[in-house]
Amino acid sequence: MNAWHDLNTCRAIGMAVGPIPWTAIVAWCEFHELDRDAAMQLIHVIRKLDNDRAEREASERALKNLIGGQS
């Protein structure tokens, strides 16, 4: 949870919020002295959370556009 919170500050922000860069995740792992296996698991978990977040936001935008289109 600390990694997710810390790494959220590394996202690219433009027209949409981007994913957390792989390099930022690896740097976080190195700073916290995680071994390779733990780092690989953390990368997987962060990517999963990122994908879930992106899907949720896309669904929310689609619903908002649908509801807004009916007004």
What is the per-residue pLDDT across 18-61, written as a single tens digit (0 to 9) for each? 899 999 999 999 999 999 999 999 999 999 999 999 899 889 88
Predicted TM-score of the model (pTM)? 0.78
Kindly report the number of other CB atoms within 10 A of residue 29's CB atom: 20
Q: Which residues on neighbouring strands pair with residue 41, listed in sequence order? A: none
Task: For the chain, give every domain's residue range.
Answer: 2-70
| Identity at 11, one-letter amino acid code | R
- Evaluated on CA atoms 48, 41, 19, 7, the torsion sign reads positive
